[in-house]
Amino acid sequence: MSKFHEYKKFIQEGDRVLVYMNRDSIVPIIVNQDECLKIKFGEYPHTKMIGLEYGSQIESSKGKGYVYLLHPTPELWTIAVPHRTQILYTPDISFISLKLNLRPGSVVIESGTGSGAFSHAIARTISNSGFLHTFEYHKHRADFAIKELEAHNLKDIVNVVHRDVCKDGFGLEGVADADLPAPWEAIPSASKAFKKSIAGRICTFSPCIEQVQRTADALNMNNFFDIETIECLARDYTSLNQTMPDIQTIINGDKVKFKFVKGKKRMLLQDGEDNAHSSILVSSPSLQTKGHTSYLTFATYYNP
Phi, psi of 265 (to 5 degrees): -70, 145
210 assigned to a ligand binding site: no
136 assigned to a ligand binding site: yes
Query: Rg of the chain's alpha carbons, rounded to an integer?
Result: 24
Q: 42: Cβ–Cβ under 8 A, 6 or more apart, which residues?
A: 59, 60, 61, 62, 64, 65, 66
Q: Are strands 237-243 and 260-261 parallel, antiparallel or unpaired?
A: antiparallel
Half-sphere exposure of 167 (CA within 13 A, CB side): 5
> If DSSP codes are grouped into helix, strand and coil, which group holds residue 73?
coil
Contacts 24+ apart (CB under 8 A), 93-97: 93/117, 93/118, 93/121, 95/230, 95/232, 95/296, 96/177, 96/203, 96/296, 97/121, 97/122, 97/125
Binding site as annotated, residues for S-adenosyl-L-methionine: 136, 179
Binding site as annotated, residues: 136, 179
